[in-house]
With several copies, the nearest count.
Chain A
Amino acid sequence: MAALTEEQSLIRDQAKSWATSESPLTKFRKMRDERVDNAYWPDAWQSMIDMGWTGILVPEAHGGSDLGYLTFGVILEELGRQLTASPLLASALVGASALRLGGSEGQQAEFLPRIVDGSSVFTLAVDEGPRHDPSKVALKAEKDGNGFKLTGTKGFVLEGAAATDFVVAARTGGSAGEEAGITLFLVPSAAAGITRTALRTADSRGYANVQFDGVSVGGDAVLGTVDDGFGLLDAILDRGRAGFGAEMLGTSGAAFDMTVEYLKTRQQFGRVIGSFQALGHRAAELYTGAEHARSCAEAALQAIDAGAADVPEKVSLAMAMVGDHLHGASRELIQMHGGIGMTDEYDAGFYLKRARALEAIFGNQSFHRERYARLLGY
């Protein structure tokens, strides 16, 4: 783990202790079994708000603590270990980043305090096809008096059913596949013409498809600059990706710990199975991968905090490396557990399913390897 400040260490301890005692994996299972609305426990979400986690990226002037992305990542890692989902990432990380990066003073003053106190839940609505590709935005925003009329469909919107406000990437010019001509809008989910369909996914998290049928917004709904929103969108996405990178660290870490624990206790052929060299070597390879994954994930968060120029490279590096590690760790989790890992009664399957969802969102490993190569110019 990165060398943390004292404050960061305290927050990590708080997050670890809260997650293991108040939001352990058993709560996730219960949530899944009971098909809880929006796929999270409202009281857990309220606790996060009460602990101030929703304000970590918000300036003190707007009621936050402004502690930065590495601090936020430390919390997400602990939540990722227990598969605790909530609007925290979508709203307090992605939403807050969108407002800080692109919001006018008025927008920030209006919305950031509401993110902090939880009265608003923001989320980003970007993808329209089955695979992440921000340049392919096609949802139309047509000029309509002083405002715009939005028509189109967004898919797999994180916390899309729970959100009170969407940051919508829409096309005001150009055509799908072009970076120019994209504009971001702030759209309340209660606006007329919006239809949401909550999705039931393998990883039991709250995604929704959202349809916009001529949804009217005013000119003040524009976030950033008209037609020139791609750079802003990509910067918001990079912050969201870095957050997911931290969450993936936690998810893969818990999967790996579960695996090692099993290797130490399960007996086969008269020996603890961890004494089989082939399994020991595979565990050693996973451990090496885990160390590198951590370095990359933390470097991405630190680059954002430092305002570094290479945030996109660092983020794509992290998403590819952490994603690959999570993929491998979740596969070995099942294989090394054998039959018991295949049963729903055991927890291993939860990690496998969540792993593939985390790999896919905001760009899978292939997406980020391609992006990295292009950023490096080859």
Chain B
Amino acid sequence: MSEAVDMTDFREEVRTWVEASLPEALKGASVSMEADPDPALVEAFDQWRQALAAKGYGAPTWPTEYGGAGLDAQHARVVGQEIAKAGGVNHIPLITGMGITMVGPTILDFGTEEQKAKHLPGIASGEIRWCLGLSEPNAGSDLASLATKCEDTGDHWLINGQKIWTSGADISQWCGALVRTDSSGTKHEGISFVLLPMDQAGVETRPIKLISGASPFCETFFNDATAVKDDLLSDEGNGWNVIKRLLQHERASQTSAGGPRAGSEGRTIQDMAKDYVGTDAEGRVDDPDLRGRLTRHIMASAAHALTTDRIREEAKGNVNVTAAASIMKNSATDVTQTKAELTLELMGYQGLGWEGDAFTKEEIGTVRDWLWGKAISIYGGSAEVQKNIISKNILGLPEMTQKG
């Protein structure tokens, strides 16, 4: 638990820099970039983005030549901690869509020198937002059965097909897409991973309305969309290996549990339960059955946090790509979804609100988050797919499902 390397000096250096760089207006957890279009704030956010980018703190572990800060995981964590202590948020991972968390690390893994130089700095500086074109309407969890065609026309790639669940496609500048460059082999062969700009005539996006209301997801249509020849990531036909790595990066970024809602204003779920349900003479939540389930949830949540810490410590700070990603994805999902169900339940009738003044913002938010949260066990490798991975890759049980 103690820091193996002495961080005191570095911590002091970062603290000084944060003090000098973080605009006053952005201090405090409740400042939200997207919900609040106040021009002064917009300007403050951009100033802060530039400060982060100048230090390479948008992607602190990336090499400095690509816009990162060249830090190891332990130093990077200190940067995050010091920004948080000052009440700030490193918002570059948020405004670049899939750029920092998934596309960038995968380009680092597979990209040519030219690709790294071309794409990474724009992500690290927070200027280029990326989306990912992976799922297709008839494929679902079975990513490899994709049909989007990518043809080599000689001087560029020509892309035709449809993607679904492309988060942020309507506001992204670039897209990493899984495409089929060859249909002659098995379904895992002939898949490639191509990078293409979204601002072109051959790309159309259509937002998807979800059961929780509006969503960041889109259907994305490629109709003679093009990509330059140099923008195939890794070799032609090696897309399945690219995507496997990319999904590991995704799982690693999804292992933190707990939705933003309950507790976001410093209120724990047990405090909310006491408010909505009331307490008995001994101060216990006055619904023994609910209270018992709350305890199981709170314990599961605590255990999840301890396991996260433990894995991080065992890996000496490098938690990104480990065999543990599947168990942590599923366990984060359980904790988050259970919390949402319990919050809804403890609110009783007030946990059924959709809109209108009869419900608080928190109540309506709880309902929307609960519904939205049902997706967590579906996307990024469904809970079932993760269990397949655990039993096969970790436990070494024989192949169960993937036949193709």
Contact = CB atoms under 8 A, between A and B. Distances in A.
A378 B294 contact: yes
Contact of A277 (B165, B210, B388): B388
A264 B350 CA distance: 37
Contacts, number: 256
Contacts of A364: 345, 348
Contact of B306 (A275, A299, A374): A299
Contacts of A356: 344, 351-352
Contacts of A302: 1
B289 to A, nearest CB: 4
Interface string B382-403: 1110111011101111111111
A291 B307 contact: yes
Contact of B403 (A260, A270, A344): A270
Contacts of B211: 334, 341-344, 348-349, 352-353
Interface stretch (B49-57, B98-106, B369-377): B369-377
A273 to B, nearest CB: 9
Contact of A370 (B135, B287, B304, B387): B287
A116 interface: no
B76 interface: no
A339 B138 CA distance: 10
B291 interface: yes
* B135, B142, B304, B310, most chain A CB atoms within 10 A: B310
A192 interface: no
B288 A283 contact: no
B378 A366 contact: no
A320 interface: yes
B375 A130 contact: no
A130 B347 contact: yes
A70 to B, nearest CB: 11
A291 B324 contact: yes
Interface string A146-174: 00000000011000000000000000000
Interface stretch (A54-62, A75-83, A199-207, A243-251): A199-207
B79 interface: no
Contacts of B345: 359-360, 364, 366
B140 interface: yes
Interface string A253-283: 0000000100110111111101111111101
B391 A280 contact: yes
B330 interface: yes
Contacts of B264: none
B399 A369 contact: no
Given A339-B165, A356-B351, A364-B345, A269 B142 contact: yes
B273 interface: yes
Contact of B209 (A280, A291, A345): A345
Contact of A288 (B139, B277, B284, B327): B327
A186 interface: no
A295 B306 contact: yes
Contacts of B277: 131
A18 B1 CA distance: 29
Interface in A301-341: 302, 306, 317, 320-321, 331, 334-335, 338-339, 341
B302 interface: yes
Interface residues of B, number: 92
Nearest to B324: A291
Give the most central of B291, B327, B382, B391: most A CB within 10 Å: B391
A283 B303 CA distance: 19
Given A284-B391, A287-B390, A338 B283 contact: no
Contacts of B1: 302, 306
B397 A274 contact: yes
23 contacts: A199-B359, A204-B354, A263-B395, A268-B141, A269-B402, A269-B404, A270-B142, A270-B404, A271-B403, A274-B391, A275-B397, A275-B399, A280-B388, A283-B395, A284-B394, A285-B387, A288-B327, A295-B306, A295-B309, A299-B306, A343-B210, A352-B371, A359-B345
Closest 10 CB pairs of A and B: A349-B211, A131-B348, A280-B391, A366-B289, A130-B348, A284-B390, A274-B397, A295-B306, A378-B270, A292-B303
Given A130-B347, A378-B279, 13 more contacts: A130-B348, A131-B276, A155-B349, A199-B353, A203-B352, A268-B139, A280-B392, A294-B307, A296-B303, A339-B164, A356-B344, A366-B288, A369-B289
Interface of B: 1, 135, 138-142, 145, 164-165, 208-211, 213, 270-271, 273-274, 276-277, 279, 283-285, 287-292, 294-296, 298-300, 302-304, 306-307, 309-310, 313-314, 316, 324, 327, 330-331, 344-345, 347-356, 358-359, 367, 371, 374-375, 377-379, 382-384, 386-388, 390-392, 394-404
Interface of A: 1-3, 127, 129-132, 155-156, 197, 199-204, 207, 209, 260, 263-264, 266-272, 274-281, 283-285, 287-288, 291-296, 298-299, 302, 306, 317, 320-321, 331, 334-335, 338-339, 341-345, 348-349, 352-353, 356-357, 359-361, 364-367, 369-370, 372-374, 376-378
